[in-house]
Structure 1
Amino acid sequence: MAVRLFFLLVGLLVGYGVGRLLTLLGLGDGVSATANTAYLMLAGLLLSFLLGPRLERWLTQSFESFVRWFSKLDPRRVTAATVGLVVALLLSVLLSSVLATVPFYTWYLNILVTAILAWFFVYFALQNASSFSGLGWSTAGTTRKRANVKVLDTNVIIDGRVTELAKAGFVEGEIVVPSFVLRELQLLADHGDPQRRARGKRGLIVLEELRGAVPVRVQEWDAPDVAAVDDKLVRFTREIGGKLVTNDANLSKVATLYGLKVLSIHEAATALRPKLQAGELLDVTVTKAGQQAGQGVAYLDDGTMIVVEDGMKYKGKTVRVTVLSAVQTNLGRMVFAKTVGD
């Protein structure tokens, strides 16, 4: 609302300014000049009223794009570019002082030299941005916190089940792979041991499949003072305020002690495992016939269908059955059983 009022005010001022300009140019005087100014102010007001919503949307989108771009900036690269620009400006000032007495050194030549120096030093600083971590800025601690971020460890990538979970929509939000995890996969893929080499190659393949299914971002981050990859994972996840996705039980316990939210693939698989296992005994009431001849159908309290072999003869009765197998279908969980003694 404030933006639209601002546009209306600008329209009035522009109309007033144009009217006064026409008066100064002699295009009207007295009552006609006042009428022209009023008409132009009204025209500016109407034009601002018509174009205001579009300008407001454009400004809002531009501001949101700038915020998204700014939030993704690497603090080290910003620092490097700033230092490079400052060095270029200092050298330009020194050259201007030294060459001020030279006849051919004009102001436009000074601007050209300054632009060349700025391009060179900023480009050089950006190419060596990682070196600025030794000037007091640590690569750890410069990562911005973001909402709903999932951090993948090496084992969960090699496991591969996270890809299916992501395709099914159970792993939502931004998925981040730290650069040191990617380097560990590369080292495994180049290892002399065939088993480790196969694990590393599988991890890289799974990561490519995951990137094809959902957006995955590799975050350049490292902590030179920390040797263990698991310790780096815990520190990185804490700094960005994310959730750690893993299937390593020990890492899961350590991360939980540090107050991190952990998404364990193993725990998810255990939770999705059928509750009824082969050999368990159940007391069920056969309610109707099954699809095959002689089959009876019963239901548990949670709606699970129990298909009882030769159970139709017990229709309307409660019988004890033994679970033979349990399967998961699109319609829900289905259990096959037979009566005890058959």
Structure 2
Amino acid sequence: MLAIRLLIVLLGLTAGLLAGQALALSLPSELAVVNTLSLMLAGLLTSVLLMARLERVASSRLDRLNRWYKRLAPRTVAAATLGLIVALLLSVLLGNLLRGLPFYSWVLSITVTLLLAVFFVGFAVRHADTFGVFTMPQARRRSGMKILDSNVIIDGRLLDLVRAGFVEGELVVPGFVLRELQTLADHSDAQKRTRGKRGLSVLEELRTIRPMQVDDWDDINVPTVDDKLIRLARETGGKLLTNDTNLSKIAKLHGLEVMSIHEAAVALKPQVQAGDQLVVTITKSGQQQGQGVGYLEDGTMVVVEDGLKYRGRAARVLVVNNVQTNVGRMIFARVDRSSDAA
């Protein structure tokens, strides 16, 4: 922020100086100096007045530029740089040839350089995969691969899906995910240590069911594990296999394919229709007077009209409606007067 403010002040002073020098051409030297100082002061004050707005605009542009820069792949940057080098070398050669023409000028030289840069940089970026030798080692593109994150490994339901044959293709565990699980397994906190050990046990069992590969790809310039997973999926063309809702949303914004265990589990939940009978234990009161609230085994909330009197007991209810909300499915029901469940 301080750098942006100093730059704004410097631009105000520079604008006043340039305006003063332009006026000095037609004024005596003493008056020109006074005018220049006055205009520089006016530029400084103007920059101070506009400081807050200009700072917000500059910060927004810099943040956008920074996000764009982080999304750039090293292979693309290397290809663009190589294309620009070729364009500059050719512009020097063509400049020497064109120098003998009677209409040659520096404008023609710059125009030729710009045209060459646009062509060669664009061509190199479109064929960036060809220039992989000039970049850091990249992950090899493999079709059908599934990249596992730590959450889906610790969850454990992946084992059942693999046994049932619902997960096809090559299973890949990135090295940084394996290190994260090892860090959790050695953690001083008992809960985190249990999660880490469970994840390692799941991987051991998974290896006995299906071939699994540990990919040593890593990028020290990418700070978080989620960012590394997204970068690896982009470079390999693999699908992310996860149950992390936030990671799933961000990956989809990047245009990646995501297989979410959580979304699959929600989709496979049995649909309860109006008129179905359920047995539910009323555990607490609802928002409306007389309402009782219970939960199914999968955690689905059941709101029972006039069910509060059955609090602490199992009651047979008839489903009236079910609604899908942001936090899950909610069932509305009424007590089945014909019989009660003991």
TM-score exceeds 0.5: no
TM bin (shorter chain): 0.3 to 0.5
Pair member with larger Rg: 1
TM-score, normalised with respect to structure 2: 0.43
